[in-house]
Structure 1
């Protein structure tokens, strides 16, 4: 079964997505996601100029060999651009193989480890009262787990406060929007949000919170300690993880569970954090970590240290990644939770899919392959629109982590 063509499809049904479609001489095709939010065209060039020409004529069944060819053979390995290009090929080849086998992808991976996949949604508001009400709406929709973010008094365009109830897309302009940050104000304000949430809803719903790399390790330890009474499901990205040892300091001071990894690309980015049990959840996802082939290795490694998966699943990933991730989640023995930010209706129309939401969980469906397709005619009606992620500065003008 040889690859006869591969093409890159860029579409913007409300936000930009990069999709790779691989076709074979057997008439079976597969699709993969290659989206890199705010840097989409860098991956497009990598795929079109360097990857696609090398795919033609290759055996589509040899997924492992293809992964090694694109990773080891590149010499300039790793990084978000390279790994997303590899992920798109890998997803598409697994899609093809499962279709040929006439199986849903999770069966081809070894079968389901559970009946459904626990997901969490995003609730946010301009202030605490708005966020409390937003969490209530997610509970009413059936969510068992909710990430809660709130605006901070005096902080311009606080991270996590979206422009709508269900859809959050921070890439809002061709050039980066400048936001502000004030760590002392945040550390004083954030615990009050969870005081209010537990007071209103009790300890039934799981609550999560994203710090978005804003704190130093000792500041993160202080936040984790202050949130301990609220029994958080996790705090995410508490401090930048380039220095993996930094999480040891946080761990020494708090029992609040820690999650990290959405910007990681390979197992090497997470090795020390996992093997030293400095985190509880690894948040790497299919598109960021070079596809299902590599993410399975990461999950197996994490399982040895009782670290569970918690894959990134914001709307900067297309429904193709969500579909593939859900098949991975249903298989993974050490699955923890899956982020699920709902795509817009126009995005769902471009990417018809088999997965569905019910009672706080998702199921990937039983369609052959990963269960997500692309309507190319409809995709063509949504041309690419440049959009960059914001940047953040402290009040004195110092650049900070967005």
Structure 2
């Protein structure tokens, strides 16, 4: 079972996606997500120029050897472009492996550890009254967990708040748009939001909030402490994770759980945070952390230190990645939550899939492999459209983390 064909498909059914498709000499196909939001063509070029030529003729069954070849064989290793490209290959090979075995991928990973995958949705609005209505809408749809983001009084725009409530896409322009940020206004406002949400929906609904790397450790500690009365499931990305010892300071001052890791690319990015128990949820994902094989390593390490999974699942991760994530989620013992931002009808049509949502859970389906594919003829009708993520400045014009 040798790899006979390998091609990269770039398409934009309402947003840009990069997909790798592998075909074996006996006709089996496998797909892998290679989307890196705002840098899609960099990964496509890396695959086309450096990876695809070495895949032709390789044994498709040797998943681990191929992963090591692409990782150890690249002197300039790690980084989001390289690891996203490796992830695409790894995921496609797992898809092929499942089809060859006639089993869904989760069965090859050890079988079910749960009946379904608990997911959370995104309730966002400019005002607190409107966000309460949005939370209620997700509860009515059956969600058991909801991330809450609101506008900040005095700021023209705020991360996570979108005019399109169901299909939020932050990459909104060919050149980066600029947002303005005020940490004092944010810290004063957010606790009042969760006070009202918790009073409205009671203690049973899991609530989450994304800080999006915008605070210093002591500011994050203040926020975490102010949110303790509202029992959040997690406070996400409170600070940039380059200085990981900063999380020790947050830990000393608050018991609000911490989730981090959607921008991590390898187990070494989160080793200290996990082994020192500085976080509660690790949010690495299939497409940006080296594929199914490497993500399992990260979650296995996390399990030793009481850290659970909370994988990223925004709209810039295609249905191929979502399907792969569900097979991992279903099979690991330390699953926490899975982010689930729904894709538009156009995206779902380009990527037909068997996973489904019911009663707050996602189910990957029982088709052999990942249970997802790409309609290449339909994908060709949606050409690439340049789109970049915004940048962020403080009120005085200083560049800040977006």
Counterpart of 1:83 in structure 2 is 83
Counterpart of 1:280 in structure 2 is 280
Distance 2:184 2:43 in 1: 38
Counterpart of 1:346 in structure 2 is 346
- What are the residue-to-residue correspondences of 1:39-118 with 2, within 5 Å? 39-118=39-118
Counterpart of 2:18 in structure 1 is 18
Counterpart of 2:333 in structure 1 is 333
Counterpart of 1:258 in structure 2 is 258
Give the C-alpha shift of residue 295 in structure 1. Answer: 0.5
How many corresponding residue pairs? 402
Distance 1:296 1:344 in 2: 29
Deviating 4+ runs (over 6 angstroms): none
Distance 2:348 2:159 in 1: 25
Distance 2:137 2:296 in 1: 34
Residue deviations 1:294-331 (CA, integer Å, cap 9, x gap): 01111110000010000000001000000000000000
For the residue of structure 1 that corresponds to 2:73, the secondary structure is helix
Counterpart of 2:302 in structure 1 is 302
- What are the residue-to-residue correspondences of 1:2-401 with 2, within 5 Å? 2-401=2-401
> Is contact 1:156–1:181 with CA below 8 Å preserved after alignment?
no
Residue deviations 1:322-364 (CA, integer Å, cap 9, x gap): 0000000000110000000000011000000010000111010
Distance 1:154 1:179 in 2: 12
Residue deviations 1:57-106 (CA, integer Å, cap 9, x gap): 00000000000000000110000000000000000000000000000000
Distance 1:127 1:159 in 2: 14
> Is contact 1:179–1:390 with CA below 8 Å preserved after alignment?
yes
Residue deviations 1:220-249 (CA, integer Å, cap 9, x gap): 000000000000000000000001111000
Distance 2:24 2:126 in 1: 50
For the residue of structure 2 that corresponds to 1:68, the secondary structure is helix
Give the C-alpha shift of residue 163 in structure 1. Answer: 2.1
Give the C-alpha shift of residue 260 in structure 1. Answer: 0.0
> Is contact 1:91–1:292 with CA below 8 Å preserved after alignment?
yes
Residue deviations 1:10-33 (CA, integer Å, cap 9, x gap): 000000000000000011010000
Give the C-alpha shift of residue 38 in structure 1. Answer: 0.3
Distance 1:378 1:157 in 2: 35
For the residue of structure 1 that corresponds to 2:389, the secondary structure is coil
TM-score (norm 2): 1.00
For the residue of structure 1 that corresponds to 2:149, the secondary structure is strand
Q: Which runs of 5+ in 2 are unaligned?
A: none
Q: Which runs of 5+ in 1 are unaligned?
A: none
Distance 1:127 1:171 in 2: 23
Distance 2:97 2:235 in 1: 37
Distance 2:366 2:180 in 1: 45
TM-score (norm 1): 1.00
Give the C-alpha shift of residue 127 in structure 1. Answer: 1.3
Distance 1:115 1:361 in 2: 9
